[in-house]
Structure formats: structure tokens, C-alpha cells
Structure 1
Amino acid sequence: MIRNNWTREEVEAIYNLPFMELVYQAATVHRQYNDPQEVQISTLLSIKTGGCPEDCSYCSQAARYHTDVKVQKLMETPEVLAAAQRAKDAGSSRFCMGAAWREVRDNKDFDKVLDMVKGVNELGLEVCCTLGMLSESQAEKLKDAGLYAYNHNIDTSEENYEDVISTRTFSDRLNTIDNVRKAKLSVCSGGIIGLGEGDADRMGMLKTLANMPQHPDSVPINNLVPIKGTPLGEQEPASIWDMVRTIATARILMPKSMVRLSAGRLDMSYEGQTLCFMAGANSIFSGDVLLTTPNPAVSNDKELFQILSIKPREAFKEKKQAAEVNFIPSVAEAMAEIL
């Protein structure tokens, strides 16, 4: 049953199950609602890098921190479309574009992003953007341009949020997600573990996502990649056991969502990633760089997929399935009229 009214006690009971039992239950739910041999491959490109006014304590792109990231202006549309084509050729079905902005502004840069969205959509890829906060009208413009999904992570629990970010509120995050949903765009929203939070914060983050009016279509689960020069530059990332436990809980709470094994994969063994897939992860980011952090090589992902007999998920699968379902009754009606 798909639920949106999980209690804190229920989430805690699931999260704290013995590890093997938790993975078993998550794998069972996963097989009920998804093809366990299918994984969505997404590619994420930073189309505008660095210089962000926010103070997210994990981020290499915050202007106030001294990191190795060099500020780069918004890319030109032909460059982005060429990158999208390379991603498609490498097996990606979704192409995500990220800009280091606090919020979207109605200006020439946003017009350029709209052109990028149109171009990537015409390549037959699901187009996703993560551009910071945006209004309902801006979400509508992105939708009209052909945007498929919008990413806006809540990062952590509401209680822990101010310890991670002070330049925007938890409510700001939720408002943007509401605007995305009102525009009938696919919602992509997850969080990060390894920020120094406790288990209670991980449970709180998952509970917030699972109790939204509609579960996010995609739920990225990131493990912190410590960046030198940021406040969390010396923080130890979460263990693989914590990563699997978080993914398994997300899968049980949100059975139909794509649970994306996101940042932090470079330090995971094939065995660790396999545990994540068993626990319900069915999406990854592919490509050598994830915005500004390193990611496993495409060749490594292909090797792992071959070992596990995993097949890439095709683009727009939900829409195609819905079209097939709608087609069947119409065929039946036509036959009835003939007879």
C-alpha cells in the first residue's frame, strides 16, 4: 500500500530492523513495484559553476568558501547539447543540468536555460534541472520548454537543517517542491547522509519525503563527499551500512519512487553498490564528474551492470506505460463497435 501518513514510530521501527531483515523486506517491496534488474542511468552536468551566495556547509560551489572550484559562467547551448548527446550515446536516459544559483531569476540566463531544455528534450532524453528556488510561473515555463523533472533536495531533517544551511529555510525548500508539483513536473528530492547528523535526522528526512502529498518520483540518497575548504571538509562520510539502511528504508516508505544511489559511489566497492541495489536503489548518476565531485568511470558502471545482469531503464517509461494502458480500452471499444 502506498502511504503518505507514516508516523515517527513506524519509520523508526523500519529503520532499526536487523540489517538482514531490513534488506530482505526492502527487496521484497522493490520487487512488488519495480523491475529489480532495471536501473535508470542519469547524467548530471554543471552548466554554471561556483560563485553561489548560499552557505551550504558541504558545497564546493559556495562563494564564501575557499575550494579548488573555479567560477564558470553559464555554458553555451551548443556545448550543453553536445554533452547531452554524449550522455545519450553512453547509455543515459535522463540528462540533468545544475546551475549554482540561489534562485532562478527571470533574465537572459534563464531564457538560455529554457533553450537548453528544449534542445535536450528534442534529443529524446528526460530533461531534469536543479537551479535553486523557483516560482510556480518559472516552473510552468520550464514545463512548457519540455522539462521532465526538477531536482530540489531537502538535504536533511527539518530539525538539523539550520546546522547545515542558514541562508534559506527548510520551508523554502518545501515551497519550491510545491511549485514544481503544481506545474505537473516530476519531483526529484532526496538528501545527504554523513553530514554529522544522527539516525533520528535520517529518519526525519525520509519521513518528510514519504509524507508529502505525493512521493517524489525520484529520491536521490547522497553520501557526503568531503570538500577541503568547506565546513564539512574534514567530516567522515557515512558507512556503507548506513547508506544501505537509508536506501532500504526509503524503498519501503516510497515503493514506487526511483531511489537514486547518488554522490559517494566512487568510494564504494562493487559489493557495496550491489547491496544498495538489493535494498531498492534503481537509479545512478553516470559520468566521471558529478557536478564538481568525482564519480565512477562509465566503463566501471558498465562492468558492474554486466556482472549483475542489470539493464538500463528506457527514457519516458512511465509515459509509455500509461499510453499503452489507455490504448487497450480504446482498442476493446473499437472491436465492440465492429462486432
Structure 2
Amino acid sequence: METYSKEQISAIYYRPLLELVFDAAAVHRSNNDHREVQISNLISIKTGGCKEDCAYCPQAARYNTGVNVHGLMPLETVVATAVKAKQAGASRLCMGAAWREVRNNRDFDKVLEMVKEVNKLDMEVCCTLGMLTYEQAMRLKEAGLYAYNHNLDTSEEHYETIITTRTYEDRLNTLHNVRKANITVCSGGIIGLGESEDDRISMLHVLSNLPQQPESVPINALVPVKGTPLENQPRVPVWDMVRMIATARIIMPKTVIRLSAGRHEMSMPEQALCFLAGANSIFAGDKLLTTPNPEFDQDRMMLDILGLTPRKPFKETNQLKPEV
């Protein structure tokens, strides 16, 4: 695995945009099937009431954002949602719970059942449940979990201006526990949090220099939500997303780069530029946890026009479908 210093990443990031996109497209074509896009579906299995203070998040209990708080979704609803997503072309289901950390209780037992049942559908199962221990990661692995999402969000330097209820080290420890349990790692960040471009480069440097690069890196653009501290942040320019995706593609050639939150605000030509720059995954379905997202039919039409095809599940080179 080739690694890059922060200075080297900075030099890549600041290349003239068209040159950067051209170079990233070449890296993408030589390391991946550039015609394939993984379609994932993200559902909120437990919404709102979170004790954290993430400044961007409508699910934090301390902010008045109008989010409809609900407890853990019934197993049958999760399975029905997964079946519908698979029929629409999704190969991965990601289940998100607004928890600070996983606790060893009945709710976690129910999540393990959800993982087992969705795994039977021949879909990659991903969870994002907050911090977790190695023992909890192993229980998820044994249930058939394929991937665990735990974003770094931003640079270590900017982190404390966005979140004070957990540390950057806490996030890295969770990623370590996930990797140790031999679960694939999904970790990325959000741009538009008031960070500098140097912060963006720093976050990419941390991700690309983990002991093993993440199999999946979501690049999110902030969707400002009324009631959160970041409600008045301006929309992230599409060029910033393209620059982040292209840089991530060059320094993490085989990683699945996910064009994530903020896609709802993008036109089809803007999304096409992101795919050209190396993005090869989208979240489909009308919601991303609690924020708007393009619907399956819209995305299917876009992929047809661009000549892209849905990627099949379990394509990571060193991973097999979990046996349960």
C-alpha cells in the first residue's frame, strides 16, 4: 500500500481541477471497474434523542430540529425495507442508530437479529451505531456484519469545534476494534463544517494512512438543518466535492468512494463529474437517515444515461460473504 505524506496529499489536492479529475479518472480505471457503482440504502433504525453534541446533526437531543424521535424499528420493517431496496438494485443495506455507543442490552440483541436476517438476503450489511468495543464488534461479525461505518467527520485539529462529547481518539479506537474483528471499515467525513482546506487534507491524510485503508470512504457535503449550530452554513460548492473525491481516489485507489450526503442538491451533470473523478457508490432511497435524498427511480434513470451499472455485493478482493 502506497502512503502519502500530508504535503504530498496537499500537492495532489491543489492541482488544477481538470488535471486533477483527469489523473483521478486514470487511477480509477486502472484499479476498479469504472462502469460500476455500488448502490446502498441507508435507514434509520433508531432516530433522535442522541446525547452527543455533533453540531451538524438533527438527531442530537439538545437541538430542537423537529426530528420525529422513535425507538428501535421492528425486525419485520427492517427486512421489508431491505427486500425493497434489493429489488431496486441496492447491494448494501446500512442501518443507523442514534446512539453514542453500543450497549450490551436487549436493543443490541435486536440489532444482531436484524444483521442475521438481512445477511440472508445476500446483501452486504453495514451498521453505524456509535462507538463499540472489540467484543461488541466480534458479536456483530458473528451475526454476519460485513461493514461498520464510523466517520472521522473532519480533521483532528477542527474536531473540537464540531463535537465535544467524544474525542478523535475515541473514533480511531472504534475503527481499530472494527478492523481487529475483521469487519470491513467504512469511514469518511463531512465538508462544509466551517473547516479549512487544510483540515480536509488532514482528514484524508489520517484516513489514507490507517494501518489498512478503509474499504469505503463516504464524502459528505453538509446538509444544514434548522435548529443545529450549523444551520446557517452555506452550501458546499460542487467543485469542492469533486476535488475531495478526486484526491481520495488518487491516494486510496481501490477504496469505494461514496458520493453521500448533499447529493440531493446536485444536478445530474454535477454528479457525473463526481463519478468521473472516481466516486463509485451512492446511497439511494428518499432519505439519508433524516435528510432528503434522490429516489431509486431517479437514480436508475441517471445510471442508465451515464452508462453505469449497479455493482454486485461482496466484491472486496479479500472478503467473502460472511458465514453465519
Whether these two folds match at TM > 0.5 is yes
The structure 1 segments of at least 4 consecutive aligned residues displaced by more than 2 Å after TM superposition are: none
The structure-2 alpha-carbon separation of the partners of 1:128 and 1:322, relative to structure 1 and needing over 3 Å to count, comes to: closer
For residue 71 of structure 1, report the CA deviation from its aligned partner: 1.0
Partner of 1:3 in structure 2? 2
2:240 maps to: 242
CA shift, 1:322, in A, is 7.1
Contact 2:22 2:277 in 1 (8 A): yes
Which of 34, 58, 61 is the aligned partner of 2:59? 61
SS at match of 2:54: coil
Residue type of the alignment partner of 1:117: V
Alignment of 1:12-23 (within 5 A): 12-23=10-21
Give the corresponding residue for 1:310: 308
What are the superposed Cα offsets for residues 91-134 of structure 1, whole Å, 9 maximum, x if unpaired?
10000000000000000000000000000000110000000000
Corresponding residue number in structure 2 for 1:328: none
2: CA distance, partners of 1:46 / 1:94? 14
TM-superposed deviation, 1:218: 0.3
Q: Which residue of 2 aligns with 1:77?
A: 75
Unaligned stretches of 5+ residues in structure 2: none
Distance 1:24 1:61 in 2: 39
Whether the 8 Å contact between 1:195 and 1:237 is mirrored in structure 2 is no
Matching residue of 1:178: 176
SS of the residue corresponding to residue 164 of structure 1 reads coil
Q: Is the 8 A contact 1:221 1:263 kept in 2?
A: yes
Q: Alignment partner of 1:197: what SS?
A: coil
The 3 A distance-change label for structure 1 pair 69 and 23 is same
Match of 2:126 in 1: 128
- Native 8 Å contact 1:3 1:211 kept in 2: no
Q: Is the 8 A contact 1:128 1:149 kept in 2?
A: yes
* Contact 2:215/2:316, CA 8 A, preserved across alignment: no
Aligned to 1:299: 297
Higher helix fraction (1 or 2): 1
Point out where structure 1 has 5 or more consecutive residues left out of the alignment: 324-339
Q: CA deviation at 1:56?
A: 0.2
The TM-score with structure 1 as length reference comes to 0.93
The letter for the 1-side match of 2:275 is: F
The Cα RMSD (Å) is 1.0
- Kindly report which structure 2 residues correspond to 1:263-302, keeping only aligned pairs within 5 A, or say none: 263-302=261-300
Does structure 1 conserve the Cα–Cα contact (< 8 Å) formed by 2:146 and 2:184? yes
Three-state SS of the structure 2 residue aligned to 1:92 is: coil
Contact 1:190 1:220 in 2 (8 A): yes
8 Å CA contact 1:22, 1:245 repeated in 2:
yes
Q: TM-score, normalised by structure 2?
A: 0.97
| Deviation, structure 1 residue 8 | 1.4
Aligned length: 320
Deviations 1:314-333 (A, max 9, x none): 011236x878xxxxxxxxxx
- Aligned counterpart, 1:28: 26
- In structure 2, distance between residues paired with 1:55 and 1:160: 15
| Identity among equivalent pairs (%) | 63
Could you tell me how far 1:297 is from its partner in structure 2? 1.4
String of CA shifts for 1:136-194, please: whole Å, max 9, x gaps.
00000000000000000000000000011000000000000000000000000000001
Residue 87 of structure 2 is matched in structure 1 by 89
Residue type of the alignment partner of 2:114: M
What letter matches 2:159 in structure 1? Y
